[in-house]
Structure 1
Amino acid sequence: MLKLFGSLRPSAALFRTTAAAAQPSAHLATGPQQEQRTFYEFRTYSIRPDQNLAFLKLTNEKIHLRTAHSQLIGCWTVEYGGLNKFFHIWQYDSYSQRAAVRAAVAQDPSWISEYISKALPLLTAQDNEVSYLVPWSRLKSPPQQGGVFELVTFQMRPGGPAVWGGAFQAAMSAHDAPGYGKLLGAFHSEFGLLNRVHALWWFESADHRAECRHRAHTDGRVVAAVRNSVAHLDSQRNQLMLPCPFSPMK
C-alpha cells in the first residue's frame, strides 16, 4: 500500500531541533567579561581627629618605603563628604603579586619600625576594597596638576552589569563627553560590597566642579541619562578629595 503520509512524518532530528529552540536561553554572564587581570585596591584610613597633621607628615616622609614594593596610583585627603579620611589606590597585576607584596612588606624592618609602628596609633579604622576598571574605562591622568578630585560611589541594585551596566555607562558618558568634569576611571567592586561602582573625576577647583554640575543639570541629555541610571540605584556617596603632596596622581 502506498504510504500517503510518509513524507509528513517528522524525523527524530527535527524533534531535537524544535525542542532545543523551545528551551529558554541561559545567559550565565552578568555583563562583559573582565579581560584585564590588573586590579586596584582602594584603601581608606580613618585618622584620629587630633592626629591628621602628624599622620600626613609621617606618610610623606616614609611612603617611599612602601612604594618600593608596589605601585601607588594616588592618595588623597577627603575635604567634603567625610572627615579625617585618607584614601589611596594601589595597583596589582594579580592576586599572587599582591600576596607576595604583602608578605614582603610584613618582613620589611624599615617599614615596620619607621612607619607602621608609628602610624597605627594615629588611626581609628582601616577599610579596603578590590575593584576592576569597568570594560569600557581606562585609567587616565588629570589634564593638569593642581585640581581637585571627586570620588562618586554608587550602590547599584543587585543584578550586575547585565542589568545596570549600559545605563551607568550612558550616565557617565553624558557627563564626560561634553566636559562636565574629567572622568579618570570607572571601577566596579570585586571584594567588598558587590554591585558597587566608583567614578573618579577631576576638576580644576571646587568652584569649577560646582559650575560644571550646574550646567549639567540644564543639559537634557544628561538629565535623561541620569533618570535611566537612577532606576537601578540604591544609594550614592560623593567625596571631594585633595591630592597629597606625595601622591603620584595630582
Structure 2
Amino acid sequence: MIIDHRTYEIKAGCLPKFLELYGTHGYPVQLKHLGQPVGYYVSGDIGALNQVVHLWQYESLADREAKRGRMQADPDWQAYLAKSAEAGYTVRQENKILRAAPFWQPK
C-alpha cells in the first residue's frame, strides 16, 4: 500500500475560490476514479499558509498509474484542468509517495 501525498500552494486570497472550483468540478471526478481520499485538508493560521493537502491510497504504483490514467482520459477531468489553469490559483505543487514504516500496519 502507498499513499500519494499532494500539497498545493494557493495564491493568497484565492483559497475559497480554489476550493469552490475544485469541489464542484474536480473532486467528483477524482472520487469516481480514485475512490475516497485518506484525507483532504487546508492549512490553518499556523505554519505555511494557503495550502491544500490531500492524501490518496493505492495498492501499488501500478494501481496508482492505472487509476490516474483513467482519470486523465476522462473529459470531465480535462475540463476541470482547463478551468483550473485558466483561474490560475495554484502557485506550486509538491507530490510525494509514502510507504508505511515496517513496524506500523494501517487499519
- Calculate the TM-score normalised by the size of structure 2: 0.86
Output the CA distance in 1 between the equivalents of 2:55 and 2:68.
Answer: 15
Q: How does 1:52-91 map to 2 (within 5 A)?
A: 52-62=15-25, 63-71=27-35, 72-79=37-44, 80-91=46-57
**Is the radius of gyration larger for structure 1 or structure 2?**
1
CA distance in structure 2 between the partners assigned to 1:55 and 1:90 by the alignment: 19
Equivalent position of 2:94 in the other structure: 127
**Pairwise CA RMSD of aligned residues?**
1.4
Aligned length: 102
Letter in structure 2 aligned against 1:56: L
Aligned residue runs from structure 1 range 190-201, under 5 A: none
Q: Give the equivalent residue in structure 2 for 1:93.
A: 59
1:12-161 alignment runs, 5 A limit: 38-62=1-25, 63-71=27-35, 72-79=37-44, 80-113=46-79, 115-120=80-85, 121-139=88-106
Q: How far has the Cα of 1:67 moved from its partner?
A: 1.3
User: CA separation in 2, counterparts of 1:68 and 1:137?
Assistant: 29
Give the distance between the partners of 2:103 and 2:12, measured in 1 at CA: 39
The CA distance in 2 between the partners of 1:135 and 1:88, in whole Å, is 23
In structure 2, C-alpha distance between the alignment counterparts of 1:117 and 1:50, rounded to whole Å: 21
Kept after mapping to 1: 8 A contact 2:34/2:68: no
Q: Find the aligned partners of 1:119 and 1:138 in 2 and give their Cα distance.
A: 36
Q: Distance in 2 between matches of 1:138 and 1:119?
A: 36
Amino acid of the structure 2 residue aligned with 1:109: P
Task: Quote the Cα distance in structure 1 between the aligned partners of 2:12 and 2:105.
Answer: 35
- C-alpha contact 2:15 2:50 (8 A) present in aligned 1: yes
Q: What is the match of residue 6 of structure 1?
A: none
Identity among equivalent positions (%) equals 28
Higher relative contact order (CA 8 A, sep 6+): 2
Which residue identity does 1:135 align to in structure 2? P
What TM-score do you get using the length of structure 1 for normalisation? 0.39
Runs of 5+ unmatched residues, structure 2: none
Distance (Å, rounded) in 1 between the aligned partners of 2:59 and 2:24 = 27
**What is the Cα deviation at residue 135 of structure 1?**
2.1
